[in-house]
Amino acid sequence: MKASMSEGAAALSVEGLVKRFGKRKALRGISFRVEGGDFIGLLGPNGAGKTTTIKILTGLIKPTEGGVRYYGRDFAAHPREAKRFIGMVPQQSNLDRDLTAYENLYLHTILHGIPKPARKERIEEALEFAGLTEYRDRQVKTFSGGMRRRLVIVRALLHEPRILFLDEPTVGLDPQIRRTLWDLILKVNQVKGTAILLTTHYIEEAEKLCGRVLIINKGRIIAEGPPDDLKREIGRYVLEIFLEDRIEEEFFPSRDEALERLKECDHSCKVREVTLEDVFLRLTGRRINV
Amino acid sequence: MFNGFKGVLYRELSVYRKRARKQILASSLSPLLYLIAFGWSLGRGVSVDGLPYISFLIPGLITMSSLNQSYGIAQELNITRFYFHVFDEYLIAPISHAEIVLGEAAYGMFKGLLSTVLIFVYAVLFGVKLILTPVFFVAILLHTFLFAALGITVAMLVRDHGTQATVNTFVITPMIFLSGTFFPVDKLPYIFKVLVYALPLTYSTKVIRASLTGGAVNLFFVLLLVIFAVLFFTSALWAVRRVEA
Ligand SMILES: Nc1ncnc2c1ncn2[C@@H]1O[C@H](COP(=O)(O)OP(=O)(O)O)[C@@H](O)[C@H]1O
Ligand SMILES: [Mg+2]
């Protein structure tokens, strides 16, 4: 693409982001990298700083300290250049309720400078991809939550971004609709090759979708790696011992070892696979979802 | 080029198209009431500044009505920004802030000019002769632009709906009543005169009235309108930038 972007540089590199809202510190030094085609999850409880991070990465707010680089180029210095190849699905739908699905997409093609002759085809493709072809001329205010979410996702893809940010894309949706949305997002990553950074506080979502997870808590990334590695670090299996007043947990590298220990257990006990929730609990002493 | 400008205008006009009939109907009522109450009934046989009162009133209604429409985009901007977050779609696109401001301002001007046309229709119906000169077109463009830009500034600065309403009550409404729309500002007590001569509406009303009724246009006032336009465009740009704090 542009000669000015250094080859070899990460698609996105984030260096020491700090964000202060008045006295409150929402981010306390966030650093990570995203390579082309990655599927990364930013997993953490409510208020951890996920939305703040995404807003900084897409230029909606400015960091107090720290920097963001896309393909080696400073985002603050060249925002318009970077905005051409990033896409954003906000936590709260920012579709225009008074416009139809088609008009919402058309607006996006204008704002992103997609040439007129290409617009119609791209929009129709997007509607097809989202399964919304028959609703193209309906006003968005008549759409269900799941339909809106699908529309926002394909809208963000119209200009063929190389990195797509999704902020809690399935929050507030039925489990079944959540699954269809997961399929859609996976398809974007695998078929289109778009790198994805998704935030979530759903353990299952992070484990199912993400190649790499960044666990965020109170404005800091406290662990990072593929979900399996993170889990292996504390042990793949957990033995839960149900005591009178609490649950005690013991971790084991293999199922057999856990079962061995289960035999000598004189309370009611259960062996199960470790989840990222256990990882979080181990690191912070708290659960992600309370 | 100008993708931001075109996009913003496309959005605003697409939404407007769906409400056009209701909006035009609503905005045509109040000037008609003013015309009947003040122009026809109260002002019959009265002359002001050497003009029949209704001829004096019509240019005032033009500036008042177009100001309401152009500045009125603040209300819409406020809703789309705070409740529906539509504004974020602009901020995330590779477009400049100036394009956003100009796109919104163009929409405000469009609405202001539409209401101007409407008053012209009333003028014909009420048998009032108006003279159209190039100065009038320059003045009405400046007038609608500067109040649209003021509307954008206010909409970006306020934190919520209530603050917006307060600004309207304490700044916009008094300005509309005192700036020579319904009576000559020279009739005001001294202290108010000082006040209204700080307000842009005073100058746009003077210029527009003079140009439409064949009076002498003070070009210095036109220059002042240009200065206000630049000032409010700058403040709107600054206010949009500030959103990304
Ligand atoms: N505009 C704001 N003003 C003040 N505090 C904010 C603002 N936005 C977020 N915060 C605070 O920053 C922290 C992180 O918020 P956020 O990024 O929204 O978390 P998450 O998306 O992980 O739930 C929270 O404590 C939140 O209250
Ligand atoms: Mg959030």
Chain B touched by A142 (CB under 8 Å): no
Which ligand has an atom closest to residue A44 CA? 1
pTM, whole model, 2 decimals?
0.90
The partner residue sitting opposite A96, judged by closest CB among B86, B244, B245, is B86
- List CB contacts (< 8 A) between A93 and chain B: 85
Which ligand has an atom closest to residue A92 CA? 2
* Number of residues in chain A: 290
The residue-averaged pLDDT of B212-221 equals 94
Contact B211, B133 (CB under 8 A): yes
Amino acid of residue B31: P
Pick the residue with more confidence: B84 or A230?
A: A230
CA distance B239 to chain A (A): 14
pLDDT tens profile A158-189: 999 999 999 999 998 889 889 999 999 999 99
Place of tokens 């649950």: A247
Q: Kindly give the distance from the C-alpha atom of residue A46 to the centroid of ligand 1, in angstroms, as a whole number.
A: 9
Chain B touched by A94 (CB under 8 Å): yes
Q: What residues have CB less than 8 Å from B24, skipping those under 6 apart? A: B114, B118
Q: How far apart are CA A126 and CA A137, in angstroms?
A: 14
Q: How far apart are CA A121 and CA A129, in angstroms?
A: 12
Residues surrounding ion ligand 2 at CB below 5 Å: A 50-51, 91
The partner residue sitting opposite B92, judged by closest CB among A59, A95, A106, is A59
Q: Kindly give the distance from the C-alpha atom of residue A26 to the centroid of ligand 1, in angstroms, as a whole number.
A: 6
Please give the CATH number for the structural domain made up of A12-226.
3.40.50.300
Residues whose beta carbon lies within 6 Å of some atom of ligand 1: A 21, 24, 26, 44, 46-52
pLDDT tens profile A227-281: 999 999 988 999 988 888 888 888 999 888 888 888 888 888 889 999 999 999 8
- List CB contacts (< 8 A) between B18 and chain A: 98
What is the ipTM for the molecules in this complex? 0.91
- List CB contacts (< 8 A) between A142 and chain B: none
Q: Which atom of ligand 1 is nearest to the CA of A49?
A: 17
Instruction: Band the pLDDT of A3: cuts 50, 70, 90.
Output: very low
Chain B touched by A113 (CB under 8 Å): yes
Tell me whether strands A163-167 and A86-89 are parallel, antiparallel or unpaired. Answer: parallel
- φ/ψ of A28, rounded to 5, equals -120, 40
Q: Could you say which residues from 75 to 94 on chain B have a Cβ atom under 8 Å away from some Cβ of chain A? A: 80, 84-94
Question: Going by CA atoms, what residue is nearest to atom 18 of ligand 1?
Answer: A51
Q: Which atom of ligand 1 is nearest to the CA of A219?
A: 14
* A112:B3 CB<8 A: yes
What torsion, rounded to 10 degrees, do the Cα atoms B107, B110, B116, B122 define? -110
Q: Kindly give the distance from the C-alpha atom of residue A13 to the centroid of ligand 1, in angstroms, as a whole number.
A: 22
Chain A touched by B11 (CB under 8 Å): yes
- List CB contacts (< 8 A) between B244 and chain A: 59-62
DSSP H or E stretch at residue B45 = none
Give, in order, the Cα–Cα distances in Å from A57 to each of B3, B35, B240: 22, 55, 19
Q: Give the pLDDT score at A264.
A: 85
Q: How far apart are CA A74 and CA A268, in angstroms?
A: 56
Q: Give the pLDDT score at A7.
A: 61
Q: Give the pLDDT score at A158.
A: 96
Burial class (CB in 10 A: 0-12, 13-18, 19+), B103: buried
Q: CB atoms < 10 A from the CB of B124, how many?
A: 11
Instruction: Band the pLDDT of A2: cuts 50, 70, 90.
Output: very low
pLDDT at B231 over 90: yes
Alpha carbon A187 to chain centroid distance?
Answer: 15
Give alpha helix (H) positions in A40-173.
Answer: 50-57, 79-83, 101-111, 116-130, 145-157
* A110:B3 CB<8 A: yes
CA distance A193 to chain B (A): 21
Q: Kindly give the distance from the C-alpha atom of residue A178 to the centroid of ligand 1, in angstroms, as a whole number.
A: 25
Q: Give the pLDDT score at B218.
A: 95
- List CB contacts (< 8 A) between B10 and chain A: 106-107, 110
What is the distance between the terminal CA atoms of chain B, rounded to a whole angstrom?
27
Alpha carbon A65 to chain centroid distance?
Answer: 23
Q: How far apart are CA A121 and CA B56, in angstroms?
A: 55
CA distance B79 to chain A (A): 11
* B3:A99 CB<8 A: no
Contact A25, A15 (CB under 8 A): no
Q: Which of A46, A52, A60 to mutate to test the pocket of ligand 1 (most atoms within 8 A of CB)?
A: A52
pLDDT tens profile B87-115: 899 999 999 999 999 999 999 999 999 99
